[in-house]
């Protein structure tokens, strides 16, 4: 990403970098170290108690993902959380799922 002097861009890049660092850590941790995985997920999502994500996992920010009790996401899930993504209690997500709030213009002339 290019350097940009605006405050908004600096905050954006800082948050993206944080999420990338944490997802990299999550995706390279020993898959049998459930305690460490849980710690990384808690740091990435912040307010989500008891959430478990089976790596690999990808997200834009992490802090826009809200989970209820007994949340589980299986491997290779992606959360494009430019806006909030909310999951209730007792949610189990299958492998290879994508949840996205990102949108772009559909009209080719607008892109």
DSSP structure string for 33-64: -HHHHHHHHHHHHSS-TT-EEPSSEEES-STT
104 included as an active-site residue: yes
In SS3 terms, 58-96 reads as EECCCCCEECCCCCEECCCEEEECCCCEECCCCCEECCC
The kind and range of the H/E element at 99 are strand 98-100
* Annotated catalytic residue within 89, 102, 104, 109: 104
- The residues assigned a catalytic role are 104
């Amino acid at each position: 990403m290019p350097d940009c002097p605006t405050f908004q861009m600096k905050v954006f890049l800082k948050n993206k970098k944080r999420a990338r660092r944490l997802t990299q850590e999550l995706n390279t941790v020993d898959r049998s170290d459930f305690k460490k995985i849980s710690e990384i997920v808690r740091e990435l999502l912040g307010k989500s108690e008891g959430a478990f994500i089976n790596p690999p996992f990808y997200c834009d920010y992490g802090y826009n993902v809200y989970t209820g009790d007994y949340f589980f996401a299986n491997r290779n899930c992606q959360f494009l959380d430019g806006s909030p993504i909310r999951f209730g209690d007792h949610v189990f997500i299958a492998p290879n799922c994508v949840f996205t709030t990102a949108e772009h213009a559909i009209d080719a002339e607008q892109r």
